[in-house]
Amino acid sequence: MLTIRFFSMIRESLDREEMTLDWDEGLVDINAVKQTLADTNGEHWREVLFQGNLLHALNQRVVRPEHSVADGDEIAFFPPMTGG
């Protein structure tokens, strides 16, 4: 199972803070996870999850969407950071 978390504008836009996704061998990378979420939840999710400036974290480290995933991972989606 994967844990998926959403922050900031992405959380608001999808009206979802956290969810789980059953593990599947086809979830080879973060792009595949996004594709599955979009296929399941509709066009709005596709627009939000495939927007150009979206950042992806795997187990709390920012990675590229081509990064592989494994059962038990935590994935997060969020916009560019604005701390400080």
Partner 1 sequence: MAVFVQREAFEVDQHYDFLVRENPGAAVVTFTGYVRDHCGAGEVSALELEHYPGMTESVLANIGQQAQARFDLLAWRIVHRYGVLEVTDPIVWTGVVADHRGAAFEACEFVMDILKTDAPFWKREHLQSGTKQWVQARSLDAARRERW
CB closer to partner 1, 27 vs 58: 58
The whole-angstrom distance between residue 50's C-alpha and the CA centroid of its chain comes to 10
CB closer to partner 1, 19 vs 28: 19
Structure tokens, 25: 């061998």
21 binds partner 1 (CB under 8 A): no
Q: Which range, of 23-31, 32-40, 41-49, 75-83, touches partner 1 by CB under 8 A?
A: 75-83
19 binds partner 1 (CB under 8 A): no
The whole-angstrom distance between residue 32's C-alpha and the CA centroid of its chain comes to 10
User: Which distant-in-sequence residues (6+ apart) come within 8 Å of 21 by Cβ?
Assistant: 1, 2, 4, 27, 33, 36, 37
Rg of the chain on CA atoms, in Å: 12
Among 9, 19, 28, 70, binds partner 1 (CB under 8 A): 9
Please give the residue ranges that form the binding site for partner 1 (CB under 8 A).
5, 7-9, 53, 57, 60-62, 76, 78-84
